[in-house]
Structure formats: structure tokens, C-alpha cells
Amino acid sequence: MHHKLTTPITDEAIRALHIGDTVSLNGIVITGRDAAHKFLVDRYVKADVIAAEDKDLYDELKKLLDGGIIYHCGPVVKKNEDGTYSFVAAGPTTSIREEPYQADVIRHFNVKGVIGKGGMAANTLAACAEQPAVYMHAIGGAATLIAQSVKEVVTVHKLEFGVPEAMWVIRVEDFPVVISMDSHNKSIHDIVQAESQVKYKELLGI
């Protein structure tokens, strides 16, 4: 089934999604990779007190991520003559690196979707069922094509992490993704792995 969703996304819309569904995603998305996830967990999720210098960003991220989307992406970005930015390439990066952080980030910020490639593991799947949230698989190798869905770079946070690791706030239109982990404890990645193990044993005659 195909869905068209716009951020912020409601719990009801997330519960209506199932593995294999396709989605055209619209609205605000925030990129975040290793440095961003570690920052979010260390400075916000697990902090007893949020430092004064981090408070404004925390308040902003709480608003953006409430019902929002995190995209595991290290974009190629061009700075325009007027000081604005444009995405040249925006392909997904491997998501499993964020597994130590993702469930905490989903729960703390009420994130409704994570975009990446390769899938994630049990902790993230459990958070998706609880929150609810979904994991959205983007097309690997289509970085330039995906960048065409990025209509505006709204702003950027933590640029000191470097361009690929910064948190870019972007507005997307009809960003194409497939639901590969849903809020009903189903994961295409787990299914493929289990079926592959069966086929592997058959081939070896085990």
C-alpha cells in the first residue's frame, strides 16, 4: 500500500504503516549520523541537567523531532552565493551504527520515523513498537536522485561536527521510502536474514 505523509506525523498514521508499504514523505526532516546521535544521547537523553549553552538547541530539536523524522545521511552540500545551502547528494548511510543510540533518541524526542539503509536491530524495533515509530528504507546508490526531493535547506545545527555529521534541517517533497521496520514488531531485515539462513543451510545440506 502507498501512503503520503507529512511531518509532524501522528501515532495513528504510524500504526497504519506495515512492512512493504511505500511512502511519499513531505515536510521537515533532520539528518543525523554518528556524531549527532552521540551528542543527543550524551548531552540530552542521559544528562542529569542540560547545560545552559545547549538549552536553546534542545528546545528547538524537541519541537522539530516531536512527530518528526531523523535521516541517517551524510549529504554533499553546496553553499550558494547568497549564503544559503543546497543538497547536491543526499543518499542514506548504513543505519546499524546508530543502534546503540536510536531507541533512546526515539523515545526521548518522540521521533516517528528513522530513514536509512540496511535496517536496524532489536532495540530499535522494540522502540518502534512502543513509541510508535517506523524505520524507512531509502534507496542506496540514488544520492543525487534523492537530493531532488530536498526542496529547501532550512538551517543547520552543529556544523562544527563537519558537513556529513552536522544536523541539517531540510524540507522534502515526495521523498520516496519503503517501510522495512514497522510498529507491529515486524522487520523485513529479520525476515530476509531468517530466510537466507534457511537457504544457506539447504545449500550446504545441513
Summarize pLDDT for 27-59 with one digit per residue, the tens: 999 999 999 999 999 999 999 999 999 999 999
Query: Of 3, 37, 137, 184, which residue is the catalytic one?
Result: 37
Which pLDDT belongs to residue 190? 74
Which pLDDT belongs to residue 195? 57
What is the chain's mean pLDDT, rounded? 93
Return the percentage of the chain with pLDDT > 90, whole number: 86
What is d(CA 82, CA 184) in angstroms, rounded to the nearest whole number? 46
C-alpha cell at 149: 526531493
Active site residue 37: yes
Instruction: Report helix, strand or coil for 97.
Output: helix
The end-to-end CA distance of the chain, in Å, is 38
Say whether pLDDT at 104 is over 60.
yes
Q: Are strands 134-137 and 167-181 parallel, antiparallel or unpaired?
A: antiparallel
Say whether pLDDT at 160 is over 60.
yes
Angle between the N-to-C axes of helices 99-109 and 122-130, in degrees from 0 to 180, rounded to the nearest 10: 10
**Residues composing the chain:** 206
Q: Are strands 113-116 and 85-89 parallel, antiparallel or unpaired?
A: unpaired
What is d(CA 46, CA 96) in angstroms, rounded to the nearest whole number? 21
Which pLDDT belongs to residue 59? 97
Domain formed by 2-204, architecture: Alpha-Beta Barrel (3.20)
Q: Are strands 76-79 and 134-137 parallel, antiparallel or unpaired?
A: unpaired
What is d(CA 136, CA 178) in angstroms, rounded to the nearest whole number? 5
* pLDDT band (50, 70, 90) for residue 200: low
What is d(CA 206, CA 184) in angstroms, rounded to the nearest whole number? 32
What is d(CA 55, CA 184) in angstroms, rounded to the nearest whole number? 34
Task: Give 83-90's long-range contacts (Cβ < 8 A, gap of 24+).
Answer: 84/153, 85/153, 85/156, 85/168, 86/150, 86/153, 87/147, 87/150, 87/153, 87/168, 87/170, 88/144, 88/147, 89/143, 89/144, 89/146, 89/147, 90/143, 90/146, 90/147, 90/149, 90/150
Which pLDDT belongs to residue 147? 86
For 2-13, what is the mean pLDDT?
A: 98
What is d(CA 75, CA 92) in angstroms, rounded to the nearest whole number? 9
Express each pLDDT in 113-145 by its tens digit. 999 999 999 999 999 999 999 999 998 777 777
* pLDDT band (50, 70, 90) for residue 205: confident
